Amino acid sequence: MKRNLYRCLVVALVVLAAFPLAVQAEEKVIRIGAMYPMTGRPGLYGIDSVAAAEMAIDEINGKGGVKGYKIDATFTDSKAKPAYAVRVATRYITEDQVHFLFGVVSSGVGLAVTEISKQHKKIFIGTDHASTQLTSDKLQPYYFRVSNNTFQSMAAGALYLQELKKTKPWTTIAYIGPDYAYGHDQWNELRYNLDRWNIPYKVVGEYWPKLFEADYNSFVTSLLKDKPDVLVTGFWGGDTVAFIKQAQSYGLIQKMLYFQPDAGGNYELMSAMGAELPAGLVLGARHYNNWPDTELNRKFVNEFHKRTGRYPTYAAEGAYAGIYAIAAAVEKVGNPDDTEALVKAFEGLKIKLPEDPDGFTSYIDPATHQIQQVQAIGVTMPNGDFPPAKMMLGDWKIYQPEQIAPPPGYPEKKK
């Protein structure tokens, strides 16, 4: 009897001694609640983002994690629907007790999720969506973005058009883009920067199809009648592919300069169209597989290809950057639980990323919580190094962050 009691007491002591260690081990986790679209036209962006985020997590955890913490992320299909994403974000915070909200491709979803982030004082790392509103009039203390916004892209676009006048004089422009914050921000910011630098232009057309529009034929015929010298487009993802394919059938691409400085140069376009993609399109994106030609970018692209069997869309690099930004901030603070200290750590955070050319390191502007990066705009030309693409971008024009940043007072003025 005494022996059995002794054994029970020993077992109980062992369990009690182990329990705090188990709890402690369980608590040594950085919990991330991520949302990306997984189906439909934007689905590839979400799939690539998840793959790249998991790649970054495996790299970091494989080296021992961050200050003894391992990174763990949960991924949910946002369905590119703001109301649904709000419910997911709320569940992540209240039930899963995540340390960070993460991801989002659509700016409409990003604008909805940032309100939940603000309400619950939970840091939201934006990895792909680009509406400038999130880092200007809608900026809140717990939001940070690790990919460029539309202002930076359209400022670079304005500088490109300014330089183009010297070799291929142009006067008239038209715009077509999705009818929501992302599309409107691009058009407003391009004109703002053209006016800012006194670049003369005349608008001859302006069109607003809905996001994920199936039929662009009526828009294409209207643009043919407008006859702009430069057609500026504000599409992204599958919408870019669909519009160019439909425009091709009318010969529109050959009649004007096709110019898409924010999301046109995504690898998805090159891989989807192959040899059918016309040469001479002027495009920009947030990451390129063939620029910059640095060891870090080559490693990122090759490791992603080895992992997935395909080359990454630009959304992948944003997700990869987001995981490394979280790791860098937690490294500075020492743990993922001190949210206010993490906010301070993110402000001014420097982080070397695959899209950084030699001699430059990305950093987060403390005033706007927007990452500052070098921007590149290129021209489509034959290149078979990244199959199934037959065309890639080249003839690069490069713009430094200080060239394309909003002028002093711009965010406050927007507020």
CATH of the domain at 176: 3.40.50.2300
Q: Are residues 182 and 144 in the same domain?
A: no
* pLDDT score at 41: 84
Cis status of the peptide bond prior to 336, with omega within 30 of 0:
no
Cβ–Cβ under 8 Å, residues 203 and 186: no
Q: Are residues 243 and 297 in the same domain?
A: no
76 inside domain? yes
- Tally the C-alpha atoms within 13 A of residue 169's C-alpha that lie toward its C-beta: 0
Q: Are residues 135 and 190 in the same domain?
A: no
Summary mean pLDDT of the chain: 92
Q: Are residues 322 and 395 in the same domain?
A: no
Q: Are residues 164 and 258 in the same domain?
A: yes
Q: Are residues 257 and 337 in the same domain?
A: no
Q: Are residues 140 and 176 in the same domain?
A: no
* pLDDT score at 15: 41
14 inside domain? no
Average pLDDT over residues 318-343: 98
Q: Are residues 128 and 181 in the same domain?
A: no
Domain encompassing residue 390: 151-285+375-414
Confidence of residue 134 (pLDDT cuts 50, 70, 90): very high
Q: Which residue has the higher pLDDT, 359 or 5?
A: 359
Tokens 């992603």, located at residue: 304
* pLDDT score at 40: 87
- At 27-52, the pLDDT tens digits run 699 999 999 999 988 899 999 999 99
* pLDDT score at 412: 59
Measured in degrees and rounded to the nearest 5, phi and psi for residue 74 equal: -110, 135
Average pLDDT over residues 196-216: 96
* pLDDT score at 409: 75
10 inside domain? no
* pLDDT score at 26: 56
* pLDDT score at 48: 97
Q: Which residue has the higher pLDDT, 408 or 78?
A: 78
Tell me the pairing of strands 371-372 and 230-233: unpaired
Q: Are residues 169 and 276 in the same domain?
A: yes
Confidence of residue 12 (pLDDT cuts 50, 70, 90): very low
* pLDDT score at 191: 97
Confidence of residue 414 (pLDDT cuts 50, 70, 90): low
Q: Are residues 168 and 183 in the same domain?
A: yes
- At 259-308, the pLDDT tens digits run 999 999 999 999 999 999 999 999 999 999 999 999 999 999 999 999 99
70 inside domain? yes
d(CA 376, CA 183): 20
- At 352-378, the pLDDT tens digits run 999 999 999 999 999 999 999 999 999
30 inside domain? yes
Q: Are residues 115 and 216 in the same domain?
A: no
Average pLDDT over residues 63-77: 97
16 inside domain? no
Q: Which residue has the higher pLDDT, 21 or 375?
A: 375
pTM (2 d.p.): 0.90
Assess whether pLDDT exceeds 80 at residue 25: no
18 inside domain? no
Q: Are residues 70 and 120 in the same domain?
A: yes
Assess whether pLDDT exceeds 50 at residue 111: yes
349 inside domain? yes
Confidence of residue 408 (pLDDT cuts 50, 70, 90): confident
Count of structural domains within the chain: 2
